[in-house]
Homo-oligomer: A and B are copies of this chain.
Amino acid sequence: MSAPLDPPALPEELGRREDDVLERIAAIVGRRIIPRGEVHVGDDAAVLAPIVGQALISIDVAVFGVHLDAELFPLEDLGFKAVAAAVSDLAAMGGRPRAAVIGVSSPPGTDLEELHRGIADAAAMTNCPIVGGDLTRSRDISVAVTVLGECPDLGAVLRSGAKPGDVVLVTGPLGRSAAGLRRRRAGAGLDDELVVAHRRPWPRLDEGIAARNAGAHAMMDLSDGLGLDLHRLADASRVGFDLSVVPVAGGATLEEAISGGEDYELVIVTDNPARLRMIFHDRGLRDPLTIGVVNADPGVRTYQGEPFARRGFQHQL
């Protein structure tokens, strides 16, 4: 869009400013090899070869200073995290990424190249090409990432399929991201292992596809913390749950594991955990961890026999 309030008749040398920036950014995020029949950055819309099966689409917005502490982390990390969080939404459906588009708002003078290096890193690591974007002015530095994915066999795994008696598992121990933020605040370096978990979250794409192939009943990613997200899954499925254990990552606290968020581990609900484990094992994925079972009463949600309260991060809007 880039729409005018006061469209100035710019001199030629200034008039190319936005287009110039776009060109430099395209060089950072652009792929050397674009599939035949596709057109990425540079037209009104990107053109993609046909999507196989169901199309998946999700948008995530990350604001510097809200989603990432602007005093403690470089701008590059905001770009990385924004893309990783969006791609994680595809992982949570059992899908795989096809493309992403990025909308960036920022004040004049923002290092857009640094921001886009983080975006490009996450895109490369998740095999999700950046095919388009928009740049605009604002007071905050904000990154909106939309990911488009596909689910070839029409079997995207929803939040709403959990059944009483199903087993609840997670793809890894929790609390690493929150622990990393705490450590960073206490002075740990950017390359500290837990700090890296906060800066560079890793969407569980292979795990999501494996869980879909294993016939998982329900799935979601843990972006806001088990203490909030598991309730959301249970709400969507109209069920309750009884947790026996919350796996706490080394270096994290139980509270960080429950309400820390941003781990992007998947929570998987299935009536056949043995099959899930076998498929994970066959694909060289880490053994998923059983945390509890689904019950039929949406009013009964427990952890080791005690009520498991809804808690975790929500924006006050």
Give me the interface of A with B, judged by CB distance under 8 Å. 1-10, 12, 14-19, 21, 37, 39, 42-51, 53-63, 66-69, 81-82, 85-86, 88-90, 92-93, 95, 98-99, 101-106, 108, 110, 112, 131-140, 142, 144, 146-149, 151, 154, 156, 158-160, 178, 181, 220-221, 223-225, 227-228, 232, 236, 255, 259-262, 309-317
Contact = CB atoms under 8 A, between A and B. Distances in A.
B49 A54 contact: yes
B45 A146 contact: no
A155 to B, nearest CB: 10
Given A57-B99, A57-B101, A62 B1 contact: yes
Nearest to A101: B59
B44 A89 contact: yes
Nearest to A107: B317
Q: Say what secondary structure dominates the interface of chain A.
A: mixed
Contact of A57 (B148, B255, B309): B148
B146 A57 contact: yes
20 contacts: A2-B313, A3-B261, A4-B224, A5-B69, A7-B178, A17-B316, A18-B316, A43-B158, A44-B89, A45-B57, A45-B147, A57-B132, A57-B148, A59-B133, A61-B103, A101-B146, A103-B146, A110-B317, A137-B317, A144-B146
Q: Chain copies in the assembly?
A: 2
A15 B311 contact: yes
Given A45-B58, A59-B132, 18 more contacts: A3-B81, A42-B159, A42-B236, A43-B159, A45-B92, A45-B149, A47-B55, A47-B158, A57-B132, A61-B104, A61-B105, A66-B136, A105-B142, A108-B316, A135-B317, A137-B315, A146-B146, A148-B148
A138 B66 contact: yes
A139 B236 CA distance: 32
B225 A7 contact: yes
A63 B317 contact: no
B146 A2 contact: no
A103 B144 contact: yes
B15 A314 contact: yes
A147 B61 CA distance: 16
B66 A55 contact: no
Nearest to A21: B317
Contacts of A6: 313
Given A37-B154, A160-B43, A315 B135 contact: yes
A108 B66 CA distance: 13
B105 A103 contact: no
A106 B220 CA distance: 26
Contact of A66 (B5, B159, B316): B5
Contacts of A3: 62, 67-68, 81, 85, 223-224, 261-262, 313
A108 B314 CA distance: 12
- Interface pairs A-B: 3 shortest CB-CB: A4-B313, A144-B144, A146-B146
Contacts of A228: 15
